[in-house]
């Protein structure tokens, strides 16, 4: 059974790594790794392949950056050539980036079954590009692997045949648990207490009326504890374009997976608009303030350490004060966030092959 495993952007790499590794152990499965190149430079791509032990991709599409339409269209053109050449029995896509949706559309039109890892997540906010990607991918996929029970229910409400849905758990946590000790051994200078920040979503960084108050909150927090900010290139450009100052914030270049996990695991608090960090902090037991008004991962609130602060300065500072006063209670971990999600995924694929 020939399987094309598709990755494209930084969040994908942590999700595909354990699946690729598990497929190597499975007799009869021939995994081919396809990198679309949506994230393509040293800091956003290459270092992650090294840190996670992902083999050199068998196919690189080299798409690069561009608008959503340009990037999606280019991926579709190039991925169609790969599908026609490789003639796969299955395409596996992960997450919710443009590469996920683009490759799903191509495979579906060529009548190649698609398995979506991390299916069923919903923010119910269609202004988010990721939400559109999730909806389209799940509508076309033949096999839907979910990370939480609420994702199962989302898919059923949308009319998905329950026989297509497989609750497998969270492959991001497979990667975290495997590399946690190695990350802890990385030598990196850091304060005894600190806040760790990531920001990249267009809704937060493209509007100065939203980004400004967030940065004001971070500057205020920096008067209490150091604020470390590995800054996304997009965010750095917006800060410069808008003329904002971050005098109290320690900006850093984007970090590799192991370096970032080291910082994340010992942070006093994480402030982020990333979905993946909501999940990781839940397992690490680190309080997380999500700088969005919604989340596609509500299980991190009910069974984790996540607090929905939104991009509002007052709410951010109030939530930060509560955490510093010890007014938060971690819970969890969520069901099947146990380091064995990839095993369950590959087992389902093998069972389908043998039918």
Query: Which residues are the active-site residues?
Result: 200
Q: Are 301 and 308 in contact (CB under 8 A)?
A: yes
Q: Tell me the C-alpha to C-alpha distance, in Å, between residue 201 and each of 23, 39, 206, 226.
A: 33, 15, 8, 23
Q: How many helices (H) and strands (E) does the chain have?
A: 15, 13
Residue with tokens 């146990």: 338
Q: Are 297 and 122 in contact (CB under 8 A)?
A: no
Q: Are 252 and 44 in contact (CB under 8 A)?
A: no
Query: What CA–CA distance (Å, rounded) separates 131 from 150?
Result: 16
Query: What CA–CA distance (Å, rounded) separates 332 from 23?
Result: 29
Question: How are strands ordered across the β-sheet holding 165-167?
Answer: 59-60, 30-35, 2-7, 90-94, 114-119, 143-146, 165-167
Q: Tell me the C-alpha to C-alpha distance, in Å, between residue 233 and each of 21, 41, 79, 220, 237.
A: 30, 11, 27, 23, 6
* Greatest CA separation for the chain: 61
């Amino acid at each position: 059974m020939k399987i094309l495993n598709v990755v494209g952007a930084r969040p994908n790499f942590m999700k595909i790594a354990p699946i690729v590794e598990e497929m190597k152990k499975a007799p009869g499965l021939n995994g081919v790794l396809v990198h679309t190149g949506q994230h393509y430079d040293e800091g956003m791509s290459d270092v992650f392949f090294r840190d996670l032990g992902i083999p050199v991709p068998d196919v690189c599409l080299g798409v690069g950056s561009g608008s959503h339409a340009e990037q999606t269209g280019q991926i579709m053109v190039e991925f169609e050539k790969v599908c026609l050449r490789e003639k796969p029995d299955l395409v596996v896509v992960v997450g919710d980036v443009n590469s996920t949706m683009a490759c799903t559309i191509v495979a579906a039109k060529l009548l190649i079954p698609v398995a979506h890892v991390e299916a069923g997540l919903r923010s119910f906010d269609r202004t988010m590009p990721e939400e559109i990607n999730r909806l389209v991918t799940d509508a076309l996929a033949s096999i839907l692997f979910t990370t939480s029970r609420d994702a199962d229910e989302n898919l059923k409400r949308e009319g998905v045949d329950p026989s297509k849905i497989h609750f497998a758990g969270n492959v991001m946590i497979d990667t975290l648990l495997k590399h946690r000790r190695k990350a802890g051994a990385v030598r990196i200078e850091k304060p005894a207490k600190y806040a760790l920040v990531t920001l990249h979503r267009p809704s937060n960084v493209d509007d100065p009326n939203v980004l400004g108050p967030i940065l004001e909150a971070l500057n205020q927090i920096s008067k209490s504890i150091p604020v470390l900010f590995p800054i996304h290139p997009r965010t750095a450009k917006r800060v410069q374009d808008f003329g904002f100052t971050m005098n109290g914030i320690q900006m850093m270049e984007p970090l590799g997976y192991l370096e970032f996990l080291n910082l994340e695991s010992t942070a006093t608090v994480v402030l982020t608009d990333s979905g993946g960090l909501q999940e990781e902090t839940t397992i690490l037991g680190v309080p997380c303030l999500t700088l969005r008004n919604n989340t596609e991962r509500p299980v991190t609130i009910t069974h984790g350490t996540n607090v929905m602060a939104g991009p509002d300065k007052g709410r951010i500072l109030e939530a930060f004060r509560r955490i510093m006063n010890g007014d938060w209670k971690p819970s969890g971990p969520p069901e099947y966030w146990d380091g064995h999600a990839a095993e369950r995924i590959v087992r389902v694929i093998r069972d389908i092959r043998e039918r």
